Copies of this chain bind each other. A is one copy, B any other.
Amino acid sequence: MSKLRVAVIGARGRMGAEAVKAVNAADDLELVAALGRDDKRETLTEAGAEVAVELTHPDASPANVAFCVRHGIHAVVGTTGWSEERLATLRGQLADAPGTGVLIAPNFGIGAVLTMRFAQQAARFFESVEIVELHHPGKADAPSGTAVRTAQLIGEARAAAGLPAQPDATSSALDGARGADVAGVPVHAVRLRGLVAHQEVLFGDEGETFTLRHDSMNRGSFMPGVLLGVRRIGGAPGLTLGLEHFMDLRGLDLDG
């Protein structure tokens, strides 16, 4: 069987270097190009890439993806910064390339995606929910993007189920003690030397609590998700937002 021809854009970055390793290690994939900052995009077409993994930065990503779409190369994108406006432009480009697929995912960690998806499903069954995310102390933003996204999904699910605001009798609090409010969900950010990237979603109701926890120890943990995207994007023309669409989370028979 012929291997899928894969290129990595941003191959000298930390995530890109991991992607190069992961593609090289996969039996069914062939790395045909690894582009750094100074390499021309034409390298992709010359190398005959079928799928490009795009791991650069927000300023460069839209042009890289546009190039791929124009040349019928499917793209799996881990770069952030895709605003609604940029997504609209991309959708226009994809309309002119009907067989081509682009996956943009804010998070390629299987555990992180499961946490978000399950949190969204569990939300309507519990009166209370809060998020505690924990990261190394070198992180610039608080809360993490994943925690904010998780809170938003939970807030939407609670609203759709008609749940009222969460119970909270706090009448005397120190500033910051009750966390940041994201879509009605308190989010707490812990920064601790020795940690990497962790998130806990705590649900509670009368007499019981239910907790989802994800621990990511290193960048390698994103690669199974990236490869899943690479293998599936050829069968999914158009724009796909979020790895969960390729995880068949609704395909399992309840009686299985």
Query: A156-172 vs B: 1/0 string, CB under 8 Å?
Result: 11001000001111111
CA distance A160 to B139 in the complex (A): 28
How many of chain A's residues have a CB under 8 angstroms from any CB in B?
A: 91
Query: Does A192 interact with chain B (Cβ within 8 Å)?
Result: yes
**Which residues in B have their C-beta under 8 angstroms from that of A195?**
204, 209
- Of B125, B174, B215, the residue contacting A187 (CB under 8 A) is B174
Which one, B142, B203, B214, contacts A170 given CB within 8 A? B142
25 A–B contact pairs at CB < 8 A? A111-B209, A118-B121, A125-B247, A134-B202, A137-B166, A139-B170, A142-B173, A142-B178, A148-B174, A156-B256, A157-B256, A160-B256, A173-B189, A176-B176, A177-B189, A179-B179, A179-B188, A186-B190, A188-B188, A194-B204, A194-B208, A205-B221, A208-B221, A209-B215, A250-B254
